[in-house]
Amino acid sequence: MTERVERRREPRTRVDQLYSVEFLCPGDIFIYRFKIWDISSKGIAILVRNDSEVLKHLRVGDVVEMKYYASDTSLPPEHLRTQIKHITQDEGGRFKDHSLVGLEVLGRVTSE
């Protein structure tokens, strides 16, 4: 049997094992931490109250360094460059008064 060789160039992360994310917004002084709410093949999302200060600082397209924590607390957190893909309000649905903030992991943060 032939062993499969990984041919993808971009780094991959196990998003299905992520539990929460922590970050400092551009132009803000507070560190925010959110449970990862939605994980799909198209990305991940966090659930944010519409009256949260964090929404005043995030814009679609922003790239933010985020610290991701795994469900397995014995694993160290990962620092990953993340792009804000969408901010979608849930108007009267299951998450009334909240927005889903879609995130796309771009890669690991490298020290220079």
Q: Could you tell me which CATH number the domain at 15-108 has? A: 2.40.10.220
Confidence of residue 67 (pLDDT cuts 50, 70, 90): very high
Which of 39, 40, 49 minimizes the C-alpha distance to 90? 49
User: What tens digit of pLDDT does each residue of 13-38 get?
Assistant: 455 578 899 999 877 788 999 999 87
- What is d(CA 65, CA 22) in angstroms, rounded to the nearest whole number? 9
Q: What is the dihedral of CA 41, 16, 8, 80, to 10 degrees?
A: 110
pLDDT number for residue 89:
87
Mean pLDDT, range 54-61, rounded to an integer: 92
Cα distances (Å, whole numbers) of residue 64 to 1, 58, 106:
43, 9, 10
Q: Give the β-pairing of 98-108 and 43-49.
A: antiparallel
